[in-house]
Amino acid sequence: MKKSSINCQLLACLTFSIALAVVPGTASAAPDTKPAPAVKLPPAPDAKTNAKVNAYIEMTNRESARLLEERARWLSEVDPKVGPTCKEQSLGLSGIDRGAEARYAGYKKTVLAKPKLAIDDAALKMVEALEALRKPAENDAPTFSNPSLKAEKCQRAKELFPVLLANWNQYAEGSEVMRAFVDKFTDERDLREIETTVKKYGKRYRYHFALIVNESKALLRTISVEAHRPEPSSAPIVEKLTPFSALIDESKRMLDNDPAAKKGQPYPPGLSLMLSDSMPRFQKAVARYIATLDNKTARNRVPQAKSDWGYVVDCYNKLVDQMNGVRFDKNQK
């Protein structure tokens, strides 16, 4: 299992999309009752296709969070129909790395490389937006960061805002298309992995682990959708959390009943550690987020929900780190 780091920010944070961690995603039933996928999966992609998609995920994870957070910061103070009024307090140009020309050129090289993918046009729009935003980031960031240049900052903010907004929106539109493609691509990959695992090893440790990875991403995705709604609801999250928790409980019972566990040697060690360490922390973070959403009378409900969502993402990324440490030897099923 490979992880491209939610930043959610997958995974990761797409406020405007979701942290894209390259870990599996959409199962929802308990391990012994999970039906086979209703639709036949397409053949597995070749190595070059996998490599290109992974490069796109890495690009999104590296660039999206800062850029989209900067857009949100400006739009929290600036009416897009009016533009800057010079009364704004926190406008800046930190969403783009200065000196990123070579990196962006690398992204464009990836877009143009074979094989041709349906996502290439959206990726090219994202790269073009990054390139267009790079120049003001390099040329005007000193003006925006200098408190003594208020008049100059005001003038440049008015001049740059239409350019910034157009390219932020272009990047966000491409990112949305990218997210849908990557979700489908990784979901299919991970369902193939589950099918292969159950055929080869049966419904034992490897199968449970594949389902846990799949369910974790599906749960995070559901939470992210709600977190970015004007009025988040806990109902869809609870609907996903219930079978997820049942799966975790079943997996723990399987481990506890293993002869090795009874001798004080949990089997396999990485899976046992994940279930006893980062998994409970992730589950508690989700439960806390649900409780905040359900507390309709709390004065600080909105900022607390945003904080809780950030904590959910952090716990998820730590869970993924431990998932990446799970290893099975050739004799383990």
| Domain ranges within the chain, ordered by starting residue | 1-32+203-333, 47-186
Q: Per-residue pLDDT tens for 117-143?
A: 999 999 999 999 999 999 888 888 888
Question: CATH number of 1-32+203-333: 3.40.1000, 3.90.1530, 1.20.120, 3.40.50?
Answer: 1.20.120
Alpha helices by DSSP H, 202-234? 205-227
> In sequence order, what are the residues at sequence separation of 6 or more whose Cβ sits closer than 8 angstroms to the Cβ of residue 242?
none
Return the pLDDT at 193. 86
| More confident of the two residues 37 and 184 | 184
* Mean of the per-residue pLDDT values of the chain: 83
Q: Per-residue pLDDT tens for 281-320?
A: 999 999 999 999 999 888 888 889 989 999 999 999 999 9
Return the pLDDT at 175. 93
Q: pLDDT class for 10, splitting at 50, 70, 90?
A: very low
CB 182 within 8 A of CB 10: no
Q: What are the distances in angstroms from CA 167 to CA 24, 100, 116, 122, 131?
A: 31, 16, 24, 13, 9
What is the value of pTM for the model shown? Answer: 0.71
CB 22 within 8 A of CB 186: yes
Q: pLDDT class for 6, splitting at 50, 70, 90?
A: very low
**Choice among 22-26, 98-102, 273-277 with the minimum mean pLDDT:** 22-26
Q: pLDDT class for 79, splitting at 50, 70, 90?
A: very high
Checking if the pLDDT of 11 tops 60, the result is no
Q: pLDDT class for 266, splitting at 50, 70, 90?
A: low
Return the pLDDT at 233. 94
CA angle 53, 191, 52 (to 5 degrees): 10
Return the pLDDT at 239. 96
Return the pLDDT at 34. 45
d(CA 272, CA 325): 11
Return the pLDDT at 260. 67
Checking if the pLDDT of 35 tops 70, the result is no
